[in-house]
Amino acid sequence: MSKGGKAKAVGETEEQAKLRFQVELEFVQCLANPNYLHFLAQRGFFKETNFLNYLKYLLYWKDPEYAKYLKYPFCLYFLDLLQHEHFRREIVSAQCSKFIDDQIILLWQHYTRRRTKMLTPANGFQAQDTNNQVSNANGTHNGVTQKPS
């Protein structure tokens, strides 16, 4: 498969395929925003057969060949949820979209905090010791070349 989407449409130029890829990429990523999903639901998009077929077509973004281009992979979770009528009915509610939005924010806060904790040494000496070990391997200490004894 090429970067131009699921498959190049009949009579579609390379430039058109690239544009379709970009438009579909942007749209799929918009699905990561529960407020946008609420907007679409309020305007009745989730009741239109053509739109539901388009959402089904967009499932190809779950393929790793395409998913690697996503900045917001959470959108794939919502793309899956949009395949279910129950979720499409519930997202019409502002309370539902607000709850989902709050949960996403909490998830990111927790993820960021855990990630920072994992990457931060337990104490400052570990980072300093690591730097000294690298420095000593190069024959320097704190950026100063050591004279052989």
Full 3-state SS string of the chain = CCCCCCCCCCCCCHHHHHHHHHHHHHHHHHCCCHHHHHHHHHCCHHHCHHHHHHHHHHHHHHCHHHHCCCCCCHHHHHHHHCCCHHHHHHCCCHHHHHHHHHHHHHHHHHHHHHHHHHHCCCCHHHHHHHHHHHHHHCCEECCEECCCC
Q: Specify the CATH architecture of the domain 14-125.
A: Orthogonal Bundle (1.10)
State percent of the chain over pLDDT 90: 56
What is the reported pTM?
0.67
The domain segmentation of the chain, as residue ranges, is: 14-125
Q: pLDDT by residue (tens digit) across 81-106? A: 999 999 999 999 999 889 998 888 88
